């Protein structure tokens, strides 16, 4: 098999070749990886048609195992090359689509001559090394996702993803959550039955002695459910369990399989249609935060989730992942954070992240430059939760006689009503006021300086 053959062997050799940048530029490697994946997909589909049904998963697992055994850095994500993209003033989507400004050729499409050292050599080497490590991991994950999606057993069922069919920790947590939730429902039914027996359908029967009797038990179950959800949040990232609030890594692992399922279900649909459905899915958490315990039992858990970073950040990164995949369709996703989401009847439901898909007529470079400008503009005008608290402190909000006497919880609830932000996050930042700025790091001091600038500019 020749060196120029773009198949599975070539793909694996690219993943493990520590000296590849002595022979190719980083974007040259990207092009080869893309060609390899296309050829591997064709060959895989051909083999799967020809081999026995029982051997298909075994064949696919061997391929996946071989990829994972290659010498490349797993989990080398976008966060590792953010500074490179910013320095080059280029988007990930442009690089993947091989549609970046021509002037970047001298930096990312240039084969480095290790014998001809110049003053820019170290800069170019670090830039290309960083991009190479990212793209090796990116395309390894893309091929693994494709192979997983072709298994006869659904990868969405985490038991089938684990070796030897072992039960994952996440599945165990879901079962425990299901038991707790069903017991909680039974408790509520018992309490409702007692209220009905004593008060009938009296609409004024609120905070009754019966409810007070069950109050501790209700709070206990609610806390237990929150603990299970917290455990699931972290365990799913380790064992690949897919659900609404899974990590971006897990979401990407399941992307190909879920897309293929959608395309088979919806005749004449394309990936563009699937992405549109995913944007709708991710921006309606009140409908889609559902965990199934069995064929008949499930739980909507949105009411147990706060709009905070641990849930906000992965959701935004999923939308950005989809945004990159929309580049070939000349569309982009506009992300809007801290929105009061409404249901189809126009009723306010909860705070969350909203998004919309827009048509793009400009060049990809102009689009991403404009997006960056919009982001910078938004960042410069919109204060963070901590900055709002600091500003309120500076203008004497907390020294008002009634506010000063109120608990931090009451103070945070009042501020939440003013700005619409999550009261628990606000309370956390109010508590920081009792500490010295030096204890809270450089970013906190930057927020203080920003508030000083805002107030000074009023003069």
Q: Per residue in 101-115, pLDDT tens?
A: 888 888 887 776 656
**Least confident stretch, 100-109, 284-293, 335-344:** 100-109
**Least confident stretch, 208-212, 401-405, 430-434:** 208-212
Q: What are residue 298's phi and psi, to 5 degrees?
A: -150, 170
User: Is pLDDT of 420 > 80?
Assistant: no
Structure tokens at 237: 């990232």
User: Is pLDDT of 364 > 50?
Assistant: no
pLDDT at residue 119, as a whole number: 67
340-346 mean pLDDT: 81
User: Is pLDDT of 227 > 90?
Assistant: yes
pLDDT at residue 156, as a whole number: 39
| 436 or 306, higher pLDDT | 306
pLDDT-derived band at 118, boundaries 50, 70, 90:
low
Rounded Cα–Cα distance for residues 35 and 38 (Å): 5
Supply the mean pLDDT for the chain. Answer: 83
pLDDT at residue 166, as a whole number: 42
3-state helix, strand, coil in the chain (%, to 5): 65, 5, 25
Please tell me whether the overall predicted TM-score, pTM, comes out greater than 0.75 for this model.
no
> Using CA of residue 40, residue 43, residue 45, residue 47, what is the dihedral sign?
negative
Q: Which residues fall within 8 angstroms of residue 6, CB to CB, at 6 or more apart?
A: 32, 35, 36, 39
Rounded-to-10 torsion of CA 231, 234, 237, 242: 40
Q: Which of 187-196, 302-311, 438-447 has the highest mean pLDDT?
A: 302-311
pLDDT-derived band at 243, boundaries 50, 70, 90:
very high
Neighbours of 364 (CB within 10 A): 19
Structure tokens at 127: 């830039």
Q: Which of 43-52, 54-63, 338-347 has the highest mean pLDDT?
A: 43-52
**DSSP structure class, residue 346:** S
Q: What are residue 10's phi and psi, to 5 degrees?
A: -65, -40
| 165 or 244, higher pLDDT | 244
pLDDT at residue 160, as a whole number: 35
Q: Which of 15-19, 115-119, 306-310 has the highest mean pLDDT?
A: 306-310
**Least confident stretch, 11-15, 139-143, 243-247, 341-345:** 341-345
Rounded Cα–Cα distance for residues 346 and 361 (Å): 31
Smallest CA-to-CA distance from 36 within 140, 148, 151 is with 140
**Least confident stretch, 81-85, 182-186, 443-447:** 443-447
pLDDT at residue 3, as a whole number: 44
N-terminal to C-terminal alpha carbon distance within the chain: 75
pLDDT by residue (tens digit) across 121-164? 788 888 888 899 999 988 998 999 889 888 875 433 433 344 33
pLDDT-derived band at 207, boundaries 50, 70, 90:
low
Give how far Cα 1 sits from Cα of 5, 8, 9, 65, Å: 7, 11, 9, 22
User: Is pLDDT of 332 > 60?
Assistant: yes
User: Is pLDDT of 301 > 90?
Assistant: yes
pLDDT at residue 246, as a whole number: 95
CA 69 to chain centroid: 26
User: Is pLDDT of 374 > 50?
Assistant: no
How many Cα atoms occupy the beta-carbon half-sphere of 128 within 13 Å? 29
User: Is pLDDT of 98 > 70?
Assistant: yes
pLDDT at residue 225, as a whole number: 95
């Amino acid at each position: 098999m020749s060196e120029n053959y773009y198949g599975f062997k070539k793909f694996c050799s690219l993943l493990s070749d520590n000296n590849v940048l002595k022979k190719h530029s980083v974007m040259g490697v990207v092009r080869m990886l893309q060609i390899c994946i296309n050829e591997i997909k064709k060959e895989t589909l051909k083999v799967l048609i020809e081999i026995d049904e029982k051997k298909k998963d075994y064949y696919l697992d061997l391929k996946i195992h071989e990829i994972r055994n290659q010498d490349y850095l797993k989990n080398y994500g976008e966060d590792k090359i953010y500074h490179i993209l910013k320095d080059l003033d280029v988007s990930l989507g442009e690089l993947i689509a091989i549609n970046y400004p021509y002037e970047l050729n001298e930096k990312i499409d240039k084969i480095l001559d290790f014998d001809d050292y110049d003053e820019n050599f170290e800069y170019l080497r670090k830039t290309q090394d960083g991009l190479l490590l990212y793209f090796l991991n990116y395309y390894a994950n893309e091929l693994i996702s494709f192979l997983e999606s072709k298994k006869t057993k659904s990868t969405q069922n985490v038991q089938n993803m684990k070796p030897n069919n072992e039960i994952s920790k996440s599945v165990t947590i879901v079962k425990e959550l299901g038991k707790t939730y069903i017991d909680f429902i039974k408790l509520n039914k018992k309490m409702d039955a007692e209220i009905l027996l004593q008060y009938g359908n009296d609409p004024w029967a609120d905070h009754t002695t019966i409810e007070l009797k069950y109050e501790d038990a209700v709070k206990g179950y609610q806390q237990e459910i929150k603990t299970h959800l917290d455990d699931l949040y972290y365990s799913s990232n380790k064992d690949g369990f897919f659900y609404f609030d899974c990590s971006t890594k897990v979401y990407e692992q399941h992307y190909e399989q879920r897309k293929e399922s959608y395309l088979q279900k919806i005749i004449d649909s394309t990936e563009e249609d699937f992405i549109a459905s995913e944007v709708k899915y991710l921006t309606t958490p009140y409908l889609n935060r559902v965990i199934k315990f069995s064929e008949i039992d499930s739980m909507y858990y949105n009411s147990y989730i706060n709009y905070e970073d641990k849930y906000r950040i992965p959701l935004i990164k999923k939308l950005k992942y989809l945004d990159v995949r929309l580049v070939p369709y000349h569309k982009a996703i506009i992300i809007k954070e801290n929105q009061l989401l409404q249901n189809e009847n126009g009723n306010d439901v909860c705070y969350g992240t909203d998004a919309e898909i827009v048509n793009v007529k400009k060049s990809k470079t102009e689009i991403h430059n404009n997006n960056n400008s919009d982001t910078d503009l938004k960042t410069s005008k919109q204060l963070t939760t901590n900055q709002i608290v600091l500003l309120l402190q500076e203008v004497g909000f907390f020294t008002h006689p009634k506010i000063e006497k109120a608990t931090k919880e009451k103070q945070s609830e009042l501020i939440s009503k003013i700005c619409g932000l999550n009261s628990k996050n606000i309370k956390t930042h109010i508590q920081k006021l009792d500490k010295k700025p030096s204890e809270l790091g450089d970013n906190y001091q930057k927020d203080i300086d920003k508030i000083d600038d805002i107030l000074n500019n009023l003069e």
